[in-house]
Structure 1
Amino acid sequence: MVSDQARLKGRLRLSLPQTFQPWWDLIAAFQRRYPGVQVYVYSTERRMDLVEDGIDVALRVGAIVHEAMVARHVLSYRNILVASPKLVERFGMPAEPEALHRFSCAVWASRVDVGVRWELGSHVVEPQAVLSTNDYHHLCSRALGGDVVTELPPFLAAAPIREKRLVPLLTQYPLPEWSINLVYPPHRHPSTIVRTYLDFCQDYLPNIAHACDVGAPG
């Protein structure tokens, strides 16, 4: 086993969504086990052409639209609507989605000219967005500052919720579920490094699932 780890050498070229922190820990653990592998990570929200851009494996959030790629489902999660206790104390805990109009909101958006709607259960809300950004860390910072209601991935929201620096809102009206897939070109014989990485990801998934667990609300 040790000799196999020592013999595995080369480059692994990955594409990840921005701010997907649990996968940073996975890559670090992978390189600790296989120190001879050099990893290149391109962090982007853009749907890259894996063959043209020279990417071995991409982590994709959402529907897979490129039929020529192989997709391996690894995880599903829902973003969480959150606010600071200070903001909730000021405006009250919203009991239904329409009550969000009392709050300033910050939203994730991939483009400036795209309107954002939150699907909360069977309700659709157009939040009063004072900030739009494609950086979830920025949204988390503004929520922690007590300025806005926002949605966060569970791996960013979990620790502040446990520490009572953020509170989950409208948990009875869940946001849509996102599917997470590993996507790679359909080579008949993937490289040893790619096969090893895919197997490692599968084994590491319980750690990722734990990072995305915010626990029971309240």
Structure 2
Amino acid sequence: MNRTYAKVVIDGSPISKSNFKLYNTKGRAILPYNSGKYHDRYAIYEEQIAYLSRCQNPGIILSESLIAILKVYYKSSKRHPDTNNITKSIFDGIEKSGLIVNDAQIRRIIIEEFYDKDKPRFELELFGESQYSINYKIVEKDKCDPPLTYSPPPNRKNISRITSQNKIKTSCKKNNKSNSSLKCEVCGKIISTDNLISANNGKTIICKDCFNKLF
């Protein structure tokens, strides 16, 4: 019988792909992998998922439609990525491992969120639909638990490169800093505001030369 089941366990705090994007001069989202900076974390995380997925399931290739049960364990219930966004990061890595052929195979998925401050991780089980089915139901509790309430997300706007540069200029004026105080976070060279790429609302600054070399 062909294998129609696989399980992957990856230690470490799960991260979301959306938190590590930079934008090029045309506004296109890109993910660096060798800048030596914070934004490389996603590409490294994806490679870790791919490597360990294959190590934990040697010789297995799941090519049929699948049911996925994903359990995500965060360090804290207060600060963590949106669990719905985590699935993209995970399945990109799983697909890269060759364990599955295409993440479009995932036709049914259940995601559960837990907290483990000592051992954050995710656990993913994949079941082939030719051999497995899934049944679930919602039941009312006999005794209610205290509700876990959430606050609205902060308002986030997509800031263009020009807007980011204007914010940097304004910040420099407020702090009595000249343009010569701006340095590329990759090469360390002083750059002018018309020769930079910025991300994270102006917190990350890279010169255009280094930016072009990264991709």
Q: Which structure's CA Rg is the greater one? A: 2
TM-score range, shorter chain: under 0.3
Of Structure 1 and Structure 2, the greater strand share is in 1
TM-score (norm 2): 0.26
Compare relative contact order (CA 8 Å, sep 6+) and give the higher one, 1 or 2. 1
